[in-house]
């Protein structure tokens, strides 16, 4: 039913463990025939291993253990670097183009969510049936500006919209605030989403695609978002739904990096993002002509 795509860097391996334990806990509420696949890439290409105190095998061995954990409840596709992957765009692009599941879900390794998130996402996707152009997202806390209010949970709307407040929220308290509230889906008129549990019908994601020219990092979710508007302008029925009271949040408050002095990471985000910006508008024009 759903193919979950996750990208992880070596220094994020402990966050990946926490994420996959959350999914394991979620899985006990799913039916046996849930049909979920979890695709995870451990990206070892952005570390200078010659300057690092820990070998690649330290992270690969732990990664393999997490593969075993996840295989206890889902189909798995765990792989290390390979396929030229240097960022989250690469694994998302690969999953979109190759999956046989009707839905693709983006998860980031720092995401915190409730125990029934996966069941609720799966149930609503099953209800949709994968035949139409749908985007399904959980809600979140107040983000960096008011443009995100359309996916902000009402119990968090009294908080300021700013980075300052978002980054110091306790993610577990934020998720638990709505843990006993009813879940239902609500269509919103706009499109707004990022990598936090966003679930897209494969039919829609494959039609818009993540162009190769965007390369490894940056603007992939924005490109799909703009593509949804273009499709709507062309007469296609494309809708986004939020799962009310299903809250997901980044774990910025408790974020740590115990490997900072043990591996020599290579930060290419600025380079990748500049490339994505340079190719974004030309690819949108191509999309308009293609659809």
Contact partners, residue 204, CB within 8 Å, separation at least 6:
133, 134, 135, 224, 228, 231, 238
d(CA 76, CA 78) in angstroms, rounded, equals: 6
Which residues in 263-275 are b (16+ Cβ under 10 Å) and which e? bebeeeeeebbeb
Give the DSSP H or E segment for 102. Answer: none
Residue 129: the pLDDT is 79
Residue 70: the pLDDT is 97
Across the range 217-223, mean pLDDT stands at: 96
- DSSP type of residue 229: H
Across the range 190-219, mean pLDDT stands at: 96
Query: Cβ(214)–Cβ(89) under 8 Å?
Result: yes
**Beta strand spans in the chain (E):** 2-8, 36-42, 75-80, 103-106, 111-113, 133-139, 184-188, 199-201, 238-250
Residue 291: the pLDDT is 86
Give the DSSP H or E segment for 212. Answer: none
Residue 197: the pLDDT is 96
- Does domain 2-290 fall into CATH 3.10.20.90? no
Q: What are the residue ranges spanned by the domains of the chain? A: 2-290
pTM of the entire predicted model: 0.96
Q: pLDDT per residue over 241-262, tens digit each?
A: 999 999 999 999 999 899 999 9
């Amino acid at each position: 039913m759903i193919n979950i795509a996750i990208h992880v860097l070596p220094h994020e391996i402990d966050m990946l463990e926490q994420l996959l334990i959350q999914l394991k806990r979620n899985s006990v509420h799913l039916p046996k025939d849930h049909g979920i696949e979890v695709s995870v890439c451990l990206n070892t290409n952005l570390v200078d291993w010659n300057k690092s105190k820990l070998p690649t095998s330290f992270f690969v061995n732990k990664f393999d253990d997490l593969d075993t954990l996840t295989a206890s409840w889902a189909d798995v596709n765990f792989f290390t670097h390979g396929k030229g992957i240097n960022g989250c765009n690469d694994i998302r692009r690969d999953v979109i183009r190759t999956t046989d599941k009707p839905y693709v879900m983006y998860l980031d390794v720092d995401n915190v969510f409730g125990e029934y998130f996966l069941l609720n996402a799966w149930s609503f996707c099953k209800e949709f049936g994968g035949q139409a152009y749908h985007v399904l997202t959980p809600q979140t806390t107040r983000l960096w500006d008011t443009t995100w209010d359309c996916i902000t949970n009402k119990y968090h709307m009294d908080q300021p919209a700013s980075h300052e407040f978002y980054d110091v929220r306790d993610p577990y308290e934020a998720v638990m605030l709505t843990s006993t509230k009813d879940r239902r889906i609500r269509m919103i008129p706009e499109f707004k989403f990022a990598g936090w549990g966003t679930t897209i019908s494969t039919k829609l994601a494959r039609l818009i695609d993540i162009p190769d020219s965007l390369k490894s990092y940056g603007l992939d979710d924005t490109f799909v978002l703009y593509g949804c508007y273009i499709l709507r302008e062309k007469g296609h029925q494309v809708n986004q739904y939020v799962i009310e009271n299903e809250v997901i949040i980044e774990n910025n408050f408790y974020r740590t990096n115990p490997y900072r002095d043990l591996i020599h990471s290579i930060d290419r985000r600025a380079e990748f993002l500049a490339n994505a910006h340079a190719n974004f508008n030309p690819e949108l024009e191509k999309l308009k002509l293609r659809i």
